[in-house]
Amino acid sequence: MSNQQAIDEFVGITGIATSVAEQYLARNEYDVMLAVNDYYNNEHVEPGSKPETSSNTNKRSTQSTGAKVKSFSDLNKSNNNYNNDDSDDNDMNFFTGGQKSGLAVEDPNKSKNGRSLVDDLIEKAEKESGEPDWRENDKNNDTQNSKKKLFKGTGFSLGSIENEINSKTVIDPESANEVNKPGKVTRTITFWKEGFNVDDGELYKYDDPQNQSYLKQLNMGRAPLSLLNVQMFQDVDVNVVKKLDDSYYDNQKSKPRVFGFQGTGNRLGSPVPGEPISVEESNNNNTTTTTSITEPTKPIEEEQIGDTSIQIRLASGERIVRKFNSTDLVEEIYKFIENKTVDSNRSWGVVTSFPPQPLDEKKNLSIAEAGLKNSVVIQKWL
């Protein structure tokens, strides 16, 4: 069964809006039976009966200095683990009046802490999760788009020299009243054992008075600008995730840590990494020893007479700067490299550095004709 079929079946059973059906199915992995049970358990009614509606449900305050919160969704309702059984912590209400009238007076000395604010916020989220979007910019979105004009900008009225009428600038009256309102965004608030956080941000502890002020604003349907990172008059959907049994710090430890690239690189044109370089050294006893060096040696400049310098990179990793005359043949370079090659049994060739081009066919050309003046040539094993 596809997700759309599950939504249609859920709507046919419960008769609720499609958006609410998607929320119940999403948190029950699109299992229709589990979603239906979850729906009726949250509504506290028997299947087939209609829940009581309140005349104050659709009333909204039109005066707000901040962005509005639409609804709270994706909430798994569970027992509140922070309710204190001590009767001293319960809300105290006083009642007064006569035989046929009465008035409930709330204790003025009562102050709600962070946990009670969370309870109120979660309870309100459950009640408002199924309500439609009442914001005008979402309701009339299609209507507003249809009323958009193709042309927007400033116009000019032509004047007349004969009638002494000057040209005038005509400003679009609607453009002056337009307000660049930012688009709607979505934020997810997760309530942990120690506090709450927005998306993947830092933890806001319940006992902080500033954080309690944030919770009060959310309960009033207002979005704290700094908390939710929104602009003035910007609409925001707030999703609530209830994880009061889990620790925020344990969750952070379980997340995989992502690291950037670590390692070493090699510059283009350098010898092959790890290839040993043989360097001959002679001691006083005229014995020859071979030492393996993993780092390329600096170019060795030989004192020669010539009008151009050519850097030669041997296959062993050794670099030699040799002077030639520009009239010398390229074959002279091959002869020099042959005398410097340690392993005479291996076949080799000579190429230019960049772009790499073989020089075998240019042996009979002069260095100037081959374009090798002040160049770099590389010996390659074949």
Cβ(317)–Cβ(296) below 8 Å: yes
User: Looking at residue 310, what is its pLDDT?
Assistant: 92
**pLDDT band, very low/low/confident/very high, at 81 (cuts 50, 70, 90):** very low
Task: Find, among 51, 66, 191, the residue nearest to 130 by Cα.
Answer: 51
Contacts of 127 (CB under 8 A, 6+ apart): none
Q: From 223, 255, 287, give the residue that closes a domain.
A: 255
123/230 same-domain check: yes
CA dist 39 to 80, 161, 216, 326, Å? 19, 77, 27, 91
Distance CA 117, CA 214 (A): 10
How many domains are contained in the chain? 3
Same domain for 246 and 126, yes or no, is yes
Quick one: pLDDT band at residue 178, thresholds 50, 70, 90?
A: low
Confidence of residue 24 (pLDDT cuts 50, 70, 90): confident
Q: What is the pLDDT of residue 150?
A: 62
Residue-wise pLDDT tens digits, 294-315:
455 556 665 567 889 999 999 8
CATH, residue 190 = 3.30.420.210
Is 91 a domain residue?
Answer: no
Distance between CA atoms of 108 and 123, rounded to whole angstroms? 23
pLDDT of 319 reads 92
Q: Are residues 302 and 335 in the same domain?
A: yes
Q: What is the pLDDT of residue 232?
A: 80
pLDDT mean across residues, the chain: 71
Residue 319 is assigned to a structural domain of this protein: yes
| Residue 119 maps to a domain | yes
Task: Give the structural domain span for 232.
Answer: 66-79+113-131+182-255
CA distance 17 to 130: 8
Do 230 and 122 sit in the same domain of this protein?
yes
Sign, CA torsion 121/125/127/132: positive
pLDDT score recorded for residue 378: 94
311 within a domain of the structure (yes/no): yes
> Do 75 and 186 belong together in one domain?
yes
pLDDT digits (tens, 9 = 90+) for 217-234: 887 777 788 888 888 877
Is 337 in the same domain as 239? no
Question: ∠ CA 261-263-268 to the nearest 5 degrees?
Answer: 105
Per-residue pLDDT of 246-289, as tens digits, reads 888 888 887 776 666 777 776 675 455 445 544 444 444 444 44
In a shared domain, residues 285 and 347 = yes
Supply the pLDDT for residue 320: 92
For residue 57, tell me if it sits in a domain. no
DSSP-derived 3-state class of residue 67: strand
Do 212 and 73 lie in one domain? The reply is yes
pLDDT of residue 221: 74
The phi and psi torsions of 95 (rounded to 5 degrees) equal -120, 140
In contact, 68 and 221? CB cutoff 8 Å: yes
d(CA 51, CA 43): 7
- Residue 44 is predicted with a pLDDT of 42
At 338, list the tokens. 């042959």
Q: 154-167 pLDDT, tens per residue?
A: 777 777 777 777 77
User: Taking 70 as the threshold, does the pLDDT of residue 113 lie above it?
Assistant: no
Q: Determine, yes or no, domain membership for 228.
A: yes
If one compares 248 and 133, the residue with the highest pLDDT of the two is 248
CATH number of the domain enclosing 30: 1.10.8.10
Most confident of 25-29, 41-45, 290-294: 25-29
Answer yes or no: is 283 within a domain.
yes
Residue 95 bridge partners (DSSP): 104
* pLDDT tens by residue, 209-218: 888 888 888 8
Per-residue pLDDT band at 86 (split at 50, 70, 90)? very low
Question: How do residues 325-353 score in pLDDT, each as one tens digit?
Answer: 999 999 999 999 999 888 888 899 999 98
Looking at the structure, tell me whether residues 345 and 296 fall in a common domain.
yes
pLDDT band at 49 (very low <50, low <70, confident <90, very high): very low
Is the pLDDT assigned to residue 121 strictly greater than 80? no
pLDDT of residue 175: 59
Closest CA to 20 of 103, 132, 173, 177: 132
Q: Do 70 and 209 belong to one domain? A: yes
The residue among 116 and 83 whose pLDDT is bigger is 116
Q: Would you say residue 194 lies in a domain? A: yes
> What CATH number has the domain bearing residue 306?
3.10.20.90
Are residues 335 and 187 part of one domain?
Answer: no
Q: Are residues 213 and 358 in the same domain?
A: no
Reported confidence tier of residue 177, pLDDT bands at 50, 70, 90: low
